[in-house]
Copies of this chain bind each other. A is one copy, B any other.
Amino acid sequence: MSISSRFTVGVHVLALIELNKEGISSSEFLAGSVNTNPTLIRKIMGMLKKAGLIEVHPGIAGAKLAKEPSYITLLDVYKAVDVVKEKELFSVHENPHPNCPVGRNIQDSITPVLSAAQLALEKVLGNVTIEDILKDIVDKEKFRIVNE
């Protein structure tokens, strides 16, 4: 099991829209960088738009960030593309037997731990912004140029 790549593709798309802010970031352009098809990008763009992270209009080529990149966290993207439902990162077996002490209490006992674990993960994502990712990419590019 793995969390859908919609999340990391979403981050890729947002970073590229910002880096290409002077140009036109159409779904085809973005798909080329991600190396997938424009339809998938448009599906993800739709989710990012619904979450208020980008601005994009039917018929008009190109997307722009709807907020400053320093105000968009990876957690925003993660929630926008809906890769994990609220409190459902872990799945729990349904209908344990009520005649057993463990069966009738395990879900209530384990759920708080699972929620805490999921929150810990989300907190890390909430502390990193698109700007952070872009800065890192720019740094890596500089290093590349120095070593050419």
| Bound: A34/B104 CA distance, A | 10
Task: Tell me if A52 counts as interface (CB < 8 A to partner B).
Answer: no
Q: Which residues of B contact A120 (CB under 8 A)?
A: 120-121, 123-124
Task: Tell me if A68 counts as interface (CB < 8 A to partner B).
Answer: no
CB within 8 Å for A33 and B113 given contacts A8-B91, A123-B120:
no
Q: Which residues of B contact A92 (CB under 8 A)?
A: 5, 8
A35 CB to nearest chain B CB (Å): 5
In the complex, which of the residues B7, B12, B128, B136 contacts A90, with contact meaning CB atoms closer than 8 Å? B7
In the complex, which of the residues B15, B35, B108 contacts A140, with contact meaning CB atoms closer than 8 Å? B108
Task: Tell me if A60 counts as interface (CB < 8 A to partner B).
Answer: no
CB within 8 Å for A102 and B12 given contacts A1-B3, A113-B125, A133-B110:
yes
For this complex, 14 residue pairs linking A to B, each with C-beta atoms less than 8 Å apart, are A1-B2, A3-B90, A5-B92, A5-B93, A11-B106, A19-B101, A33-B100, A34-B96, A35-B95, A35-B103, A106-B133, A109-B137, A117-B121, A120-B123
